[in-house]
């Protein structure tokens, strides 16, 4: 699971050049757009009919939950008419100030704005929002409205219970994002300019883009976030040389080819999330954590999980342990001849890794020498913004759907995650793709973000209930996996936790509290940015920075107050830590062994199966 977009990303290049378009070229573009529109609308309609025929009306989040939340909000304003009136009065005062400032600008003055533009909000970046008095006033009026609206929502929901208040405030924020003037052709100066310049070709191209996205979603909107034509696995993504040396029904195990003559004695096994694909750690070469680790003289193995379909409905969380982490460790030991290894777990892969370590501790299995956890939750008592999608009602809703399909579609999860950053990950692309008629840029992180995976029914239900709803992993013996009660306090190996400051999937404070569940105090480091960009922060990069502090007090905020901020990437500091647990140097190891010969080139076949494929490649 993941956040799905770094703050520096921008939707794409213009499909229509800024200069005046010749009439014959314009006619050609009209013809091409009409052809795409016809084909896309036909496929979208057919997909919608097929979805209706099989009775598949499921969407995530549940529209009924959103409607209930907004209805509850209306009731709260009716119950607090005085507060509603105060919000209205404050809003009119803001409008009055805005009108006075606009009048002064008309007379040639340059007063400070009533609502300064947010430099992080890319919806109002175009020059027209600043240079044109009307659109500048419109932008400020929207910002004043949003500020007072959300403030009022917060105040009238104070008496609600926590879960209900979270949902009401979340959907109120979604409503305000949807009403932004940038989202509509007649109130967006950049769209108006493009429409005049191209004779409306941008809108026709945008409509064709919309129909193609509806077709891809079988009648449901599946926004294209990256130009997939420019990116390809094994060509410019996931290109670190290596071999698949083992596979079973659930995973392929990849061993990467060395680039140094000597390597650490202890190999490194990476356990990525199966809610997304492993190549988040092997994007383009300059951003690949795996390539960098190999260049550091580490023998790197990574699990590539299968993308399941209905045949995997009964696959359990236990299976990810027995056929995933434990089996991978068996293969790594045989191939390298080493009795111990180091490990990394990312997100839910880290949750599985910690569960595996507790399982091993209970059975006296000491082959894991150290563990690193990237943005991992072990304590699910406070899960941040995701809690809006996870309660008993919504889990039952997902379970009913999964009982019919055998899995939860990755696109539904992606839609939910995108809502957590809707201004960027939804409305930014609505403007770019549908109103401006552009094709999004080829951007590796967003290509990966749209390459979703399915979740097996049994595993997903177990994970949501036992981790998110009941937080049983945090309880000694709270869950049992593969016949063994799990107690994280029995894990007493060296550990290193990496959390990220703006993580909306695994809040850093919760990750910190999870670190305290282990039986030995780990190192803890806080990276800048979010769930993905804070981890994929290459060595040599000057972005984000990180905080570190040797001690681990109980209170995460106390830790942060004592921590030191460092510029650049945290990768080198982690490598310095790992060297103390890496053993001596040995001759570099080529992938595979006599018992486990290479089966195919990395990144393998399992990772290539997309959610719109008919079946998986699992054996």
pLDDT tens digits for range 483-539: 999 999 999 999 999 999 999 999 999 999 999 999 999 999 999 999 999 999 999
CA 353/CA 489 separation, integer angstroms: 14
Q: How confident is the model at residue 7 (pLDDT cuts 50, 70, 90)?
A: very low
Please say if the pLDDT value at position 229 is more than 90: no
Mean pLDDT of 327-347: 98
Taking a C-beta distance cutoff of 8 angstroms, is the pair 522, 550 a contact?
A: no
Which residue is it, tokens 């010749």?
22
Q: What per-residue confidence (pLDDT) applies to 25?
A: 76
Quick check: helix, strand or coil at residue 582? coil
Q: What per-residue confidence (pLDDT) applies to 22?
A: 61
Please state, in angstroms and as integers, the Cα–Cα distance from residue 478 to each residue in 102, 218, 469, 501, following that order: 62, 41, 13, 29
Quick check: helix, strand or coil at residue 563? coil
Please say if the pLDDT value at position 11 is more than 90: no
pTM: predicted TM-score of the whole model, two decimal places: 0.91
**Which residue intervals of 516-619 are DSSP H helices?**
556-562, 571-579
Q: How confident is the model at residue 10 (pLDDT cuts 50, 70, 90)?
A: very low
CA 568/CA 337 separation, integer angstroms: 36
Encoded tokens for 316: 């359990």
* Lowest-pLDDT choice from 25-34, 332-341, 377-386: 25-34
Task: Report the helix count and the strand count for the chain, using DSSP H and E.
Answer: 21, 17
Could you report the per-residue pLDDT of 422-474, keeping only the tens digit for each?
A: 999 999 999 999 999 999 988 999 999 889 899 999 999 999 999 999 999 99
Q: What per-residue confidence (pLDDT) applies to 122?
A: 86
Could you report the per-residue pLDDT of 390-430, keeping only the tens digit for each?
A: 999 999 999 999 999 999 998 888 888 899 989 999 999 99
Mean pLDDT of 106-130: 87
Which residue is it, tokens 């949902």?
167
Could you report the per-residue pLDDT of 574-617, keeping only the tens digit for each?
A: 999 999 999 999 999 999 999 999 999 999 999 999 876 534 44
Q: Name the residue among 56, 434, 410, 366 with its Cα closest to residue 211.
A: 434
**Centroid of chain to Cα 361:** 32
Q: What per-residue confidence (pLDDT) applies to 12?
A: 42
Q: Name the residue among 325, 333, 395 with its Cα closest to residue 359.
A: 325
Mean pLDDT of 368-386: 96
Mean pLDDT of 45-70: 87
Query: Mean pLDDT across the chain, nearest whole number?
Result: 91
Q: Name the residue among 240, 373, 356, 349 with its Cα closest to residue 298.
A: 240
Cis preceding linkage at 557, omega within 30 = no
Mean pLDDT of 185-204: 94
Please say if the pLDDT value at position 309 is more than 80: yes
Helix axes 162-178, 133-156, angle to 10 degrees: 170
Which residues make Cβ contacts (< 8 Å) with residue 285, sequence separation at least 6? 239, 240, 291
Q: How confident is the model at residue 21 (pLDDT cuts 50, 70, 90)?
A: low
Q: What per-residue confidence (pLDDT) applies to 612?
A: 63
CA 416/CA 420 separation, integer angstroms: 7
**Which residue intervals of 296-391 are DSSP H helices?**
317-319, 326-336, 348-363
Mean pLDDT of 309-316: 96
Mean pLDDT of 39-52: 84
Other CB atoms within 10 A of residue 325 CB: 25
Could you report the per-residue pLDDT of 437-447, keeping only the tens digit for each?
A: 999 988 999 99
Which residue is it, tokens 């945290």?
570
- Phi and psi at residue 243, in whole multiples of 5°? -135, 145
Residue 472, sorted as left (phi over 0), alpha (psi -120 to 50) or beta, turns out to be alpha
Task: Give me the active site residues, please.
Answer: 347
Mean pLDDT of 349-377: 98
Q: Name the residue among 605, 383, 589, 580 with its Cα closest to residue 494.
A: 580
């Amino acid at each position: 699971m993941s956040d799905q977009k770094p703050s520096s990303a921008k939707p794409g290049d213009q499909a229509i050049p800024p200069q005046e378009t010749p009439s014959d070229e314009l006619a050609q573009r009209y013809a091409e757009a009409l052809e795409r529109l016809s084909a896309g609308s036909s496929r979208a309609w057919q997909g919608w009919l097929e979805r209706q025929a099989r009775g598949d009306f499921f969407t995530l989040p549940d529209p009924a939950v959103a409607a209930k939340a907004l209805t509850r909000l209306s009731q709260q304003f009716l119950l607090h008419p005085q507060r509603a009136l105060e919000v209205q009065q404050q809003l009119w005062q803001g409008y009055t100030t805005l009108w006075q400032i606009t009048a002064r600008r008309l007379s040639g003055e340059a007063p400070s704005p009533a609502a300064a533009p947010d430099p992080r909000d890319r919806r109002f970046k175009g020059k027209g929002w600043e240079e044109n008095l009307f659109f500048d006033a419109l932008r400020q009026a929207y910002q004043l409205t949003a500020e007072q609206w959300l403030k009022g929502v917060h105040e009238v929901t104070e008496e609600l219970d926590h879960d209900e208040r979270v949902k009401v405030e979340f959907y109120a924020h979604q409503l305000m994002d949807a009403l932004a003037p940038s989202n509509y052709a007649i109130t967006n100066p950049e769209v108006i300019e493009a429409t005049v310049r191209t004779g409306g070709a941008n809108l026709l191209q945008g409509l064709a883009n919309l129909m193609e996205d509806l077709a891809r979603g079988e009648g449901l909107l599946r926004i294209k976030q990256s130009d997939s034509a420019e990116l390809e696995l094994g060509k410019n993504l996931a290109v670190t040389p290596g071999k698949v040396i083992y596979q079973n029904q659930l995973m392929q195990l990849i061993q990467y080819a060395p680039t140094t003559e000597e390597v650490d004695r202890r190999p490194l096994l990476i356990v990525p999330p199966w809610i997304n694909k492993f190549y988040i750690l092997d994007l383009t070469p300059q951003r690949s954590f795996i390539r960098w680790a190999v260049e550091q003289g580490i023998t790197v193995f990574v699990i590539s999980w299968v993308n399941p379909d209905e045949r995997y409905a009964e696959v359990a969380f236990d299976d990810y342990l027995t056929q995933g982490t434990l089996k991978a460790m068996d293969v790594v030991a045989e191939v390298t001849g080493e009795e111990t290894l180091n490990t990394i777990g990312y997100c839910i892969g880290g949750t599985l890794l910690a569960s595996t370590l507790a399982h091993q501790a209970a059975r006296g299995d000491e082959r894991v020498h150290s563990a690193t956890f990237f943005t991992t939750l072990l304590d699910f008592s406070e899960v941040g913004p995701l809690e809006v999608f996870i309660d008993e009602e919504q889990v039952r809703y997902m379970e009913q759907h999964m009982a019919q399909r055998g899995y939860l579609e990755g696109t539904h999860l992606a839609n939910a995650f995108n809502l957590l950053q809707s201004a960027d990950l939804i409305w930014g692309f609505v403007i770019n793709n549908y109103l401006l008629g552009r094709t999004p840029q080829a951007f590796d992180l967003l290509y990966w973000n749209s390459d979703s995976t399915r979740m097996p029914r049994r595993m997903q239900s177990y994970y949501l209930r036992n981790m998110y709803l009941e937080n049983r992993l945090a309880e000694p013996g709270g869950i049992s996996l593969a016949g063994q009660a799990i107690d994280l306090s029995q894990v007493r190996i060296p550990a290193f936790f990496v959390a990220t400051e703006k993580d909306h999937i695994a809040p850093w404070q919760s990750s910190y509290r999870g670190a305290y569940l282990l039986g030995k105090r780990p190192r803890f480091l806080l990276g800048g940015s979010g769930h993905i960009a804070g981890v994929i922060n290459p060595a040599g990069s000057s972005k984000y920075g990180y905080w570190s502090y040797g001690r681990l007090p109980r209170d995460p905020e106390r830790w942060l107050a004592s921590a030191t901020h460092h510029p650049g990437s945290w990768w080198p500091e982690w490598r310095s830590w790992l060297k103390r647990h890496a053993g001596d140097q040995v001759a570099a190891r080529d992938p595979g062994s006599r018992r486990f010969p290479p089966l195919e080139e990395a990144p393998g076949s399992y990772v290539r199966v997309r959610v719109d494929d008919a079946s998986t490649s699992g054996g």
